[in-house]
Amino acid sequence: MKTETGMKENYQHWHVDTLSLVAKLKRLNSLLSWLRLLSFLLLAISFVMALVYNINLMMIAGLFLIIFIGLIIYNVKVTEKLQYNETFSKVIDDELAAYDHNYTFDPGEKYIDSAHPYSYDLDIFGQGSLFQSLNRTSTLHGSDRLAAMLIRSLKDADTIKEHQQAIDELSQKPLWLAHFRTYGNMGNTSDTAESELLEWVNSKPLFLSRIYGILIPIIPLISLTVTALLIFNLISITAFTLYLLLPLGIAGFFGGKISKKHMQLSRKASLLNNYSRRLKLLEDEKYTGSLLQKIQLNTKNNSKSAGSAIRQLSKIISSMDARLNWIMWIILNFLLLWDVRQMRRLELWQYRHRDDIDHWFNALAEIEALGSLAGFTIINRSFVFPEISKERLMVKAKEAGHPLIPEARRVTNDILINGMGSFNIVTGANMAGKSTYLRTAGINLVLAGAGAPVCAGEFTFYPASMITSLHTVDSLNSNKSYFFAELERLKQIIDELNSGEELYVFLDEILKGTNSYDKQQGSKALLKQLISLKAAGMIATHDLDLGQLEQSFPANLSNFCFEAQIMDDKLHFDYKIRKGIAQNMNATFLMKHMGITL
C-alpha cells in the first residue's frame, strides 16, 4: 500500500509529465494548423492551374486534397489527445490541492438542508464541507448518489463491509480513478444531460414500422437512377424536380417531429463518447470485491457491452447532426432519405437498449460516488476503516480527530459512547473544544456509515441513525423563534425514539433560548427522558450542575470536560478531553480583555 507521502509524489510526477506532454501537443497542434493552411493553398493553386493550363495537373490537386484531409483527421486526434491531457492535468492538480486541504471540488450547496437530522449541524454540505472534500463526481447522478451516502447512513453491517472493501480496492487504483474522472470532466455534462437521454430513450418511436424499412434502401436506388437518367438526358429537368419532391417531402413532412427528438440528443455525441470510454474502463477492469463486481455486471446484459453500445449511439448522433446544415440536409435526404434513415437507426438502438441505459447510468453514478470516497482515502492514508460492533449504540475510538482540520493543527481525542442509554456530559470553557469534539464524533459516524475510512487510530461503532442539535437557526420567514426551532428539533428526537428508532443524539448547549432556571430544569428532564428511551450520545454544556446527574445515573452518564488555563494573563487551550466536570471557565476573562466593565 502506498503511503500518503509516496502517493503525493506519484501525483506530482504524473502532473509534471502531463504538463510536458501538453506543451508538446500544443506545439504539434500549431504546426498542423499551418500545414493544413499550406496544403489547402497548394490544393487551390493546383486546382486552378489544372483548369487554366493542363487538366493533368488535377492529379496533383487530388494529392494535395488527400494530404489536406489526412492533416484534418490527424489534427482532430491530436486535439482530442491535448484536451484529454489538459483535463487529466487538472484532475491531478485537484488531488495535489486536496493534500493541503484546498478543495476545488463542487461543495454541493444545493444539498444544504437545515431541517435534516444532522447534515446542517455537521457541515456536510457547502463551502469547506465534508462533501466538498470528498466530491470527485462528474455528473449530477453521481453527485446525488454521493450526497445520499452521506445523508442516509447504511445500517446493515454486511453492506457497510461491502462498501469498505470497494472503497479500499478502488483506492489502490489511483491512476485508474484519475482516468475515469478525466473522461467524466471532458464531457461538459449539464445537469439535464442524463435526464434528456432517459426521456428520449423512453419516448414513443416513429419509424420502426415495416414501410420505413422498405423505403430506406429503395429511395437511394431510385435517387441514383433518376440522377443518372438526368445526366444522360433520358429524363427532363421537370421530371427530375418532381421526383426530388418525393424524398424531400417525406423528410419535410416528419421534420418537426424529427427535430424535436433530435434536439434531445443534438450535440451530445462527444458527451456520449466520453460515457462510453468510462463504461469501457469500468468493464475492462478486474475487481475482487463483491460490490464492484455487481456494479460491473450492471454494465452488461446478455454479454452486450455498455461501452460499445453507447459509442454506437454517439456515432449515430454524429451522423444525425449532419442535418443541421441545410445544404447537407437537401443532398443527404435526396440521396439517402437521411433523416428517416438515422431516426430509424436511433430507434432500433432505443428498442434494443431502453431497459439497459438506466442501469448503465446507475453503475457510473455508483462508481463516481465510491471513487470519490476512494480518492479521499488515497490522500488520507492515516485514516482507518472502522470495525462494526454488535453492541447497540456503542462507539469506541482512539485518537479521533476532525477530518477537515489539517493534520498539523488537528488535536485528537478518544471517544467512548457506552451503548444504549449512555450519555457523555461534556463541560468546558468557551472555545475549549466542546463543539468540535461533538462534531468530530458526528462527522466520523457519517463517514463510517458510508463505508469510508475515519479520522482515528482505531474506531468501532454500531450502525444507527443520528440526530444533532448543534446550531439551530430561527426563521423570520416562518415566524419561528430560535427557542421554538430548538424545541421542534428536540420533539423530532423524542418522536423518533418513541417510534422505536435507535438514535445517536448530539446536543450542544440545549435550551439556549430560555432563562437559566428553565434551561437547567428542562435540560435535566430531557436527559432523563433520553436515557429512558435508550438513546445514546453526547451533550455539551456550560451548565456545570448538569454534571451532577452522574451521581443519580452512574450507569448511564459520564462526565468529561475541556479545560482552559490562564497563564501570564493569556488563555491557553490544549483541546484534550479529561474525565470529570470542568473547573475553569473563561467568560469574565474574555470580557475584561475586550474592555467590557464587570
CATH number at 486 reads 3.40.50.300
pLDDT band at residue 2 using 50, 70 and 90 as cut-offs: very low
Q: Which residue has the higher pLDDT, 231 or 95?
A: 95
DSSP one-letter string for 222-270 = HHHHHHHHHHTTSS-HHHHHHHHHHHHHHHHHTHHHHHHHHHHHTT-HH
Q: Which residue has the higher pLDDT, 47 or 24?
A: 24
Q: Please, where are the H alpha helices in 407-536?
A: 434-449, 482-498, 516-532
Q: Report d(CA 338, CA 331) in Å as an integer.
A: 9
Q: Report d(CA 398, CA 459) in Å as an integer.
A: 7
Q: CA-based diameter of the chain, in Å?
A: 112
pLDDT in tens, 198-224: 888 888 888 888 888 888 899 889 988
Both 95 and 115 in one domain: the answer is no
Q: Report d(CA 287, CA 71) in Å as an integer.
A: 41
Q: Which residue has the higher pLDDT, 318 or 121?
A: 121
Contact 448, 97 (CB under 8 A): no
574 to 88, 378, 580, 596: CA distances (angstroms): 42, 30, 16, 26
Both 123 and 71 in one domain: the answer is no
Which whole number is the average pLDDT over 189-201? 74
Neighbours of 17 (CB within 10 A): 13
Q: Nearest Cα to 308, choosing from 276, 268, 275?
A: 276
Q: Which residue has the higher pLDDT, 5 or 89?
A: 89
The SS3 of residue 320 is: helix
Q: Nearest Cα to 296, choosing from 286, 81, 133?
A: 286
| Residue 154 covered by a domain | no
Sheet holding 423-428, edge to edge: 465-469, 503-508, 536-541, 423-428, 557-562, 578-579
Residue type at 339?
Answer: D
Q: Report d(CA 475, CA 127) in Å as an integer.
A: 22
Instruction: Tell me which residue has cell 470516497.
Output: 373
The SS3 of residue 302 is: coil
Both 222 and 85 in one domain: the answer is no
Neighbours of 333 (CB within 10 A): 24
Which whole number is the average pLDDT over 154-159? 95
Strand 304-305 versus strand 300-301 pairing type: antiparallel
**What's the per-residue H, E or C state across 527-563?**
HHHHHHCCCEEEEEECCHHHHHHHHHCCCCEEEEEEC
220 to 198, 243, 246, 337, 501: CA distances (angstroms): 32, 12, 12, 7, 69
Sheet holding 458-461, edge to edge: 387-388, 458-461, 394-400, 413-418
| Residue 141 covered by a domain | no
Both 565 and 462 in one domain: the answer is yes
| Residue 382 covered by a domain | no
Strand 458-461 versus strand 394-400 pairing type: antiparallel
pLDDT band at residue 516 using 50, 70 and 90 as cut-offs: low
| Residue 330 covered by a domain | yes
C-alpha grid cell for residue 263? Answer: 434536439
Q: Which of 335, 368, 401 is the last residue of a domain?
A: 368
Q: Report d(CA 39, CA 42) in Å as an integer.
A: 5
| Residue 581 covered by a domain | yes
Examine the pLDDT at 299 and tell me if it is beyond 50. Answer: yes
E-assigned strand segments in 277-363: 300-301, 304-305
Examine the pLDDT at 401 and tell me if it is beyond 90. Answer: yes
Q: Specify the pTM.
A: 0.85
| Residue 347 covered by a domain | yes
Instruction: Tell me which DSSP letter residue 139 carries.
Output: S
Which whole number is the average pLDDT over 59-80? 89
Both 421 and 500 in one domain: the answer is yes
Q: Report d(CA 471, CA 456) in Å as an integer.
A: 25
Both 2 and 128 in one domain: the answer is no
Count of structural domains, the chain: 4
pLDDT band at residue 512 using 50, 70 and 90 as cut-offs: low
pLDDT in tens, 365-389: 999 999 999 999 999 999 999 999 9
Neighbours of 577 (CB within 10 A): 21
pLDDT of 270 reads 76
The SS3 of residue 422 is: coil
Q: Report d(CA 475, CA 489) in Å as an integer.
A: 14
Which whole number is the average pLDDT over 546-574? 84
Distance of CA 199 to the CA centre of its chain: 22
pLDDT of 479 reads 42
Q: Which of 100, 119, 146 is the last residue of a domain?
A: 100
Examine the pLDDT at 475 and tell me if it is beyond 70. Answer: no
Examine the pLDDT at 99 and tell me if it is beyond 80. Answer: yes
| Residue 155 covered by a domain | no
Both 344 and 217 in one domain: the answer is yes
Strand 578-579 versus strand 557-562 pairing type: antiparallel
Share of the chain above pLDDT 90, in %: 51
**Least confident stretch, 2-16, 119-133, 346-360, 528-542:** 2-16
Which whole number is the average pLDDT over 62-86? 90
pLDDT band at residue 300 using 50, 70 and 90 as cut-offs: confident
Both 352 and 417 in one domain: the answer is no
Mean of the per-residue pLDDT values for the chain? 87
Both 316 and 405 in one domain: the answer is no
Neighbours of 516 (CB within 10 A): 10
Both 516 and 573 in one domain: the answer is yes
The SS3 of residue 410 is: coil
pLDDT of 474 reads 41
pLDDT in tens, 249-291: 988 888 888 888 887 777 677 778 888 899 999 999 999 999 9
Return the ∠ at Cα 182 (arms to 178 and 188), rounded to 5°: 155
| Orientation angle between helical segments 255-265 and 193-201, nearest 10 degrees | 140
pLDDT of 595 reads 54
pLDDT of 596 reads 53
Range of 410's domain? 387-593
Within 8 A by CB and 6+ apart from 194, the residues are: 139, 140, 141, 361
Both 416 and 311 in one domain: the answer is no
| Residue 169 covered by a domain | no
Both 441 and 315 in one domain: the answer is no
Instruction: Compute φ and ψ for 362, nearest 5 degrees.
Output: -65, -40
pLDDT band at residue 237 using 50, 70 and 90 as cut-offs: confident
